[in-house]
Structure 1
Amino acid sequence: MHITFTEAALGRIDQLRGDTVGQLHLYYDTEGCGCGNSGIFSIRLVSAATSEDMTIDSNVGPVLVKRWSSHFLDQEMTLDYNAEKKSLILKSDGQYFNTNVLVTDQTGCQLTVNR
């Protein structure tokens, strides 16, 4: 499994993260979604991996993902940024996983930029 971060996506993540430290985690959030197979992916900045995590390859190094959520992903994916909509987009050749990927801190709080 591999994810390519475009330069535009990396720039947006850096802008949002500011001084927030942490490893990139492609986090599958099911909070408020009703059931485990109805969730949404976000980028979470975490301090450490847990026993539930595995890594997937990327052009910026290993990215964490929960083992149980990896079956929702495709073998080759891209995280891009749409500047007009100010949104990160997780996609593959076959589908869009999320057209508004949020970047959050370790607790799940959304990181924002005042611009």
Structure 2
Amino acid sequence: MNITITNEAQEVLKTKIGGQKGYLKIKYETEGCGCVMSGIPVLEYVTQKGWDDIEISTEAMPVLVEKSKTVFYDKDLKIDFSSSANTFQLKSPSQILNGRMSFIIR
């Protein structure tokens, strides 16, 4: 899996994270979705890795992804920021996985 973080997304992340130590994580959220097949990716900033997390290197910073949920993602992903919608986006060359992705600091 390859993940790219756009320059705009990097700048917004730096502002939101500040000097906190931790990891950027793409979490496949299924809470309230009914089943695991109906999940949606969200961005989190966590203080430690989870038992199922794998670390993907990017030019900007490492990104954690739940190994068991990688089947729901394309091979190439891009974390972007839409200034017009004021939100993060998760995209691949073939689709937008989440055009209004939440960002949560845990």
TM-score, normalised with respect to structure 1: 0.83
Answering whether residue 84 of structure 2 is matched by residue 84 of structure 1, we say yes
* Mapping for residues 1-115 of structure 1, pairs under 5 Å: 1-18=1-18, 20-106=20-106
Tell me the alpha carbon deviations over residues 68-108 of structure 1, each in whole angstroms, 9 at most, x when there is no partner.
111111111111111111121110111111001111022xx
- Give me the CA root mean square deviation: 1.4
Tell me the alpha carbon deviations over residues 47-78 of structure 1, each in whole angstroms, 9 at most, x when there is no partner.
11122111223222321111111111111111
Taking the aligned partners of 1:28 and 1:22, their CA distance within structure 2 comes to 18
Give the residue type in structure 1 aligned to 2:61: G
Gaps of 5+ in 2: none
Taking the aligned partners of 2:50 and 2:64, their CA distance within structure 1 comes to 9
Tell me the alpha carbon deviations over residues 2-61 of structure 1, each in whole angstroms, 9 at most, x when there is no partner.
110001011122223345442111111111111011111111111111221112232223
TM-score, normalised with respect to structure 2: 0.90
Percent identity between matched residues is 31
Give the residue type in structure 2 aligned to 1:23: Y
Give the residue type in structure 1 aligned to 2:68: W
Taking the aligned partners of 1:80 and 1:16, their CA distance within structure 2 comes to 15
Give the residue type in structure 2 aligned to 1:84: S
Which protein is richer in helix relative to its size?
Answer: 2
Native 8 Å contact 2:56 2:62 kept in 1: yes
Native 8 Å contact 1:5 1:80 kept in 2: yes
Taking the aligned partners of 1:73 and 1:103, their CA distance within structure 2 comes to 18
